[in-house]
Amino acid sequence: EAGVAQSPRYKIIEKRQSVAFWCNPISGHATLYWYQQILGQGPKLLIQFQNNGVVDDSQLPKDRFSAERLKGVDSTLKIQPAKLEDSAVYLCASSLGVGAGTDTQYFGPGTRLTVL
C-alpha cells in the first residue's frame, strides 16, 4: 500500500516570497491533515479536511497561509508571503475519517522549509 506522498522534500526561500507544498494522501482516506513542526517541538495541526470540506483551521494563520483539497483527494498548502518564523517541517497526514479520537493517522515524510 502506497503511503502519503509529499513534495518537495526541501525548499529554501527568501522572506516575503511564496511557497506551495503538495500532498497526496492514502487512497480512500477521507481525512487529510496539515501539520507544522518547528525544531524541537511536536507537530501542530494547521488544518484538517474531511473530504474537501474544512473541519478545523483554528490554528492556521489565515493572513498568510491557505490550503485547499481538490476533489477530496490531493491537497496544497501555500504560504504567501513567508516569514522567518515559518521555517519548519510541514507534515501531511491522512486517515480513514472514522473519528479524530480513534482514527489512525498516517504521515508523509514532510517538507523542510527554510526561510532566509
Partner 1 sequence: DAKTTQPNSMESNEEEPVHLPCNHSTISGTDYIHWYRQLPSQGPEYVIHGLTSNVNNRMASLAIAEDRKSSTLILHRATLRDAAVYYCIRGVGNEKLTFGTGTRLTIIP
Degrees to nearest 5, angle at CA 50 with 64 and 61: 15
**Within a 13 Å sphere around the CA of 79, how many CA atoms are in the beta-carbon half?**
26
Supply the minimum distance, in Å, between the C-beta of residue 16 and partner 1: 28
Of residues 93 and 115, the one with the C-beta less far from partner 1:
93
Min. distance of Cβ 115 from partner 1 in angstroms? 19
Sheet holding 19-24, edge to edge: 5-7, 19-24, 75-79, 65-69
Instruction: Mark residues 73-112: x for contact with partner 1 by CB under 8 A, - for none.
Output: ------------------x-x-----xxxx-xxxxxxx--
Q: Taking CB under 8 A as the rule, does residue 40 contact partner 1?
A: yes
| Cβ neighbours of 108 (radius 10 Å) | 22
Cell reading at 13? 526561500
Query: Considering only 14-22, 34-42, 64-72, 75-83, which stretch makes contact with partner 1 by CB under 8 A?
Result: 34-42
Strand, helix or coil for residue 43: coil
25 binding partner 1? (CB under 8 A)? no
DSSP class of 104: P
In the complex, the residues that contact partner 1 under the rule CB under 8 A are 4, 33, 35, 40-45, 48, 56, 91, 93, 99-102, 104-110
